[in-house]
Amino acid sequence: MSTREYLRTLASLGADTSDCVERLYREAVDLQVERMIELGVRQGISTRALLLAARDLNAHLWSVDVDPCLEARQLVGAWGLGLWWSFTQRDSREFLRSWAGAPVDLVFIDSGHSYELTLDELRLSSRLLWPWGAILLHDTQDPNWPGVIQAVQEFLKLDPNRYGFQELGTRHGLGKISLGRG
């Protein structure tokens, strides 16, 4: 199956992250990522989209979730994407604090959705990025999760001349934080 067919399959699943899989893939490819971190796995829909980009670019994705995500792990294996993936069952903040690897090109946040957790993840993630890297966040426009956009707004206040924010136009909201002003 081609990358396009895999992405269509993910988009057709109807889960909340199905709305952003094609954009996630495209953002990773446009950045020519070598290393990515994903915070929050659940069903592994976004995981598989990012892994398709990792496969196509010969990159690597580190995914972190507090739950074991057994179904997602099985699906990654069934899709033959395990070579480009490391999964860690751990609190995202602990994982980010302990990161000893090289800087990363992309961080995707779709974890707990609370204001406090999202703001902590933004602060910790931003320290791991290359200067051309980006942070993508899901649910930035979902009224069920106001803490996500509130955390983004607070994070941007920390250094408004350094970080810019852009909505990438999906049903639940996919936002991008990058260096510069948008």
| This model's pTM is above 0.85 | yes
Q: How many domains does the chain have?
A: 1
**Alpha-carbon gap, residue 136 to 28, rounded angstroms:** 10
- Give 86-136 pLDDT, tens digit per residue: 999 999 999 999 999 999 999 999 988 899 999 999 999 999 999 889 999
Query: What CATH number did the domain enclosing 65 receive?
Result: 3.40.50.150
pLDDT of residue 181: 43
Question: Cα–Cα distance between 135 and 97 in angstroms, integer?
Answer: 16
Host domain of residue 131:
3-179
List, run by run, the mean pLDDT of 10-residue segments along the chain (182 residues). Answer: 85 74 94 97 93 98 97 96 98 97 95 92 95 91 86 89 84 82 43
CA separation for the pair 78, 14 (Å, rounded): 20
**Amino acid identity of 50?**
L
Strand pairing report for 104-109 and 163-167: unpaired
**Neighbour count for residue 90 (Cβ, 10 Å):** 13
